[in-house]
Copies of this chain bind each other. A is one copy, B any other.
């Protein structure tokens, strides 16, 4: 295979991002796109030069496609994974794979049985800042890691209608941070303890969710980590990590659209950090898709594999259980 023929399922915000990347990639040919909203699929096809708009069945049954990118709503993921795997397609699937472990297990079993590549869309691993932190940990630049802090705050909460179907802050928002925690430390979590509350919007509480959470993770290797999530950072999208180890520490700052500093009679100031996750993570979205194409074409392991799709969901379930039961919860209790 010299060029990856790929079909895209889902033409929403994230589907379009992946379509644009694939359209620019010499090693990939995005041949077809599907969406339950036909007009959306046609618009993305036109903008990205994708020659065909078709139905999901057509994509899955197409003989000419090597792979599919599943960018549809979370509740459709598992069924599509099973069908695509059975059809012998390599699979890129957006996060989360699903919100229940049993369904994920069924889907991943199909993937393993079919022997196809499977990559889940935890794009932040491909961000230059977090990749640099991982390098500092993996290379021994900061020695043996002891403590980690992940700060991950959104600029504004989603609509309440979305909150109600999102699976809650742990499955919807902190899942990225659970993946990040495993990725940065390179080990698995043993136990989780959650403190959380409703501070931003009482409606979020009425919907059974929280909007402010601090979760403590204890890794098998003894590293202690905290994850700090909040739904409303008025100054913008706040995405930072710090890892402290025996030989030093590594920490990232936020990304800014410019590096200009203005000195006035009142303050020394700069403009706000990037506000929208699509701007902040533009490059990481492109990088993850390039890595998927490369993994398939050159028969390498997918860099974010099946287990990476399952474990963060288990962590999210454990984090919620800890909050509900007001005690530390072993990951083994929910897995």
Stretch at the interface among A4-12, A90-98, A116-124, A252-260: A252-260
A56 interface hit (Cβ, 8 Å): no
> Are B147 and A230 closer than 8 Å at their CB atoms?
yes
Instruction: Flag whether A160 is at the interface (Cβ < 8 A).
Output: no
Take A212-B224, A224-B195, A224-B212 as given contacts and tell me if A234 and B272 are in contact as well, using a CB distance cutoff of 8 Å.
Answer: no
Task: Identify A235's interface contact among B129, B195, B199, B263, CB under 8 A.
Answer: B263
- Give residues 120-141 of A contacting B (CB, 8 Å): 128-129, 131-133, 136, 141
Docked complex Cα distance between A260 and B128 (Å): 9
Contact between A233 and B244, CB atoms less than 8 A apart? yes
Indicate whether A197 reaches chain B with its CB closer than 8 angstroms: yes
Task: Count the copies.
Answer: 4
| Contact segment of A162-170, A174-182, A214-222 | A214-222
A215-274 interface with B by 8 A CB criterion? 216, 218, 222, 224, 226, 228, 230, 232-235, 238, 244, 246-255, 257-273
Partner of A262, one of B136, B224, B264, B273: B136
Chain B residue nearest to A254 in the complex (CB): B259
Q: Among the interface residues A216, A247, A250, A268, which one has the most CB atoms of the partner chain B within 10 A?
A: A268
**Bound: A12/B189 CA distance, A:** 45
Q: Are A249 and B269 within 8 A (Cβ)?
A: no
Residue total for A at the interface (Cβ-Cβ under 8 A): 70
Chain B min CB distance to A217 (Å) = 9
**A304 touches B (CB below 8 Å):** no
Say whether A300 faces chain B, with CB atoms less than 8 Å apart: no
CB contacts under 8 Å to B, within A199-218, are 199-200, 212-214, 216, 218
| Interface: A292 (CB within 8 A) | no
The smallest beta-carbon distance between A115 and chain B, in angstroms, is 34
Picked from B132, B133, B136, B267, the residue with its CB within 8 Å of the CB of A267 is B267
CB-based contact A246/B199 at 8 Å: yes
CA of A266 to CA of B197 in the docked complex: distance in angstroms? 26
Please give the distance in Å from A250's CB to the nearest CB on chain B: 5
| Minimum C-beta distance from A23 to chain B (A) | 9
B224 near A248 with CB under 8 A, answer: no
Q: Are B222 and A258 in contact (CB under 8 A)?
A: no
Nearest CB of chain B from residue A263's CB, rounded to whole Å:
4
- Please give the distance in Å from A271's CB to the nearest CB on chain B: 7
A250 near B267: Cβ-Cβ < 8 Å: no
Most buried by B among A218, A233, A249: A249
A40 to chain B minimum Cβ distance, whole angstroms, is: 17
A267-B272, A269-B269 known; 13 new pairs, CB 8 Å cut-off, are A129-B260, A133-B260, A143-B234, A149-B226, A197-B224, A213-B224, A214-B226, A228-B244, A234-B248, A234-B264, A238-B249, A252-B258, A267-B271
